Each structure stands twice: as C-alpha cells, then as structure tokens.
Amino acid sequence: MGKHKGKTKSLAAAAAGEGGGESGRFSARRKTDAILRLLRGEPLDTLARELGVTAATLAQWREQFLGGGQAALKTRPADERDDEIQRLRAKVGEITMNNELLLERCHRLEAGLPPALRRPRA
C-alpha cells in the first residue's frame, strides 16, 4: 500500500510541475479536466490541494473557461455576407472621405479662398 501512496503523490507532483507549488505549467487539456471536475461538484479546496495550485488559480481558470464558453455562444458563424459587408463598409468610408474633402473645397470657394493645394502622397 505504501507503494501506491508514493505513486499518487508523484502523480500530484507531476500535475503541479517538477518543484511542486504553482511553478509548473498546465496544458489547456489538463486545465479543462480540472475545471470539468469542479463543475461536476468536486470541492475547490480539495482539488486545488491535489493539483498543487492555489484555490484562487483554480477559480481563475474556471472563470476564464466559462467566459470563453459564453463568448463562443455569442458569435455567429461567418458566411458569404461578411465579405460583402466589409467591402461595403470600406466603400462607405471612401465616399465619406471624398464628401468631406469636397465640402471643405466648397466652403473655401464660398469664402473666396483658393482651393487647398493637394499634398503629394507619400
């Protein structure tokens, strides 16, 4: 039985990283497994001790996980309309800029000022 306990401890140490504590890095898969265990009802403190991380770290992972899930549910899949929308927005921007330049020229002419000189493009 002593052999089994040593193996459990070494697995927990491996999950926490070589030096124990929070110095080790967890893969996204291992973090997900830990979060799913939390969501299934395992106590936060117990799981944190087992993994060798603080309860605050585990809670932060849970919040990030749930936030990512919410964001994924809010987005809609891209379709062919997205390209057309992007093209039309660019065109509206171009037309708006041209209108502003023309209005400025009109105001200068109405005020009796010479039209602004065009600046060379860099």
Question: What is the pLDDT, as a whole number, of residue 23?
Answer: 46
End-to-end alpha-carbon separation of the chain, Å?
78
Mean per-residue pLDDT, 38-48: 94
Side chain identity at residue 101, one-letter code: L
Domains, the chain? 2-74 (1.10.10), 80-122 (no CATH)
Tokens standing for residue 62: 């849970």
pTM, two decimals, is 0.46
19 pLDDT exceeds 50? no
Which of the pair, 4 or 46, is modelled with greater confidence? Answer: 46
Q: What is the pLDDT of residues 59-80, one digit of tens each?
A: 999 999 999 888 888 777 778 8
